[in-house]
Amino acid sequence: MGIIDKLNKNFESRVRLGIMSILMVNDWVDFTEMKALLNITDGNLASHSTALEKSEYIEIKKEFVGKKPKTSYRVTNIGRLAFKEHLNFLEKLINSK
């Protein structure tokens, strides 16, 4: 098995890489802020965040603030470990001869 085979398929999308990168350095990030940081549509954010949630890499919290719904995201411990491993494999791939 080569290094490239060890890369996590859940992080192949640039949107998912962006979501995970943002969440690795922030506690909770709300939907509006995440969407603005990544410059993506509501649907794109919803579908990619749902996929990451199904893999247990992120947690999605939905609540009401006053009468307005608010969705927030944070990385899970499983997600943090998986993403760090993915980055380590990328680094090995970049540095391989």
Domain boundaries, the chain: 3-95
pLDDT in tens, 24-72: 999 999 999 999 999 999 999 999 999 999 999 999 999 999 999 999 9
> Which distant-in-sequence residues (6+ apart) come within 8 Å of 93 by Cβ?
3, 4, 7
CATH class of 3-95: mainly alpha
Confidence check: pLDDT of 73 > 80: yes
Burial-class residue 43 by CB neighbours within 10 Å (0-12, 13-18, 19+).
exposed
Q: What residue type is 84 in one-letter code?
A: K
CA dist list (Å): 54 to 2, 66, 79: 27, 28, 11
Q: How far is CA 2 from the centre of its chain?
A: 24
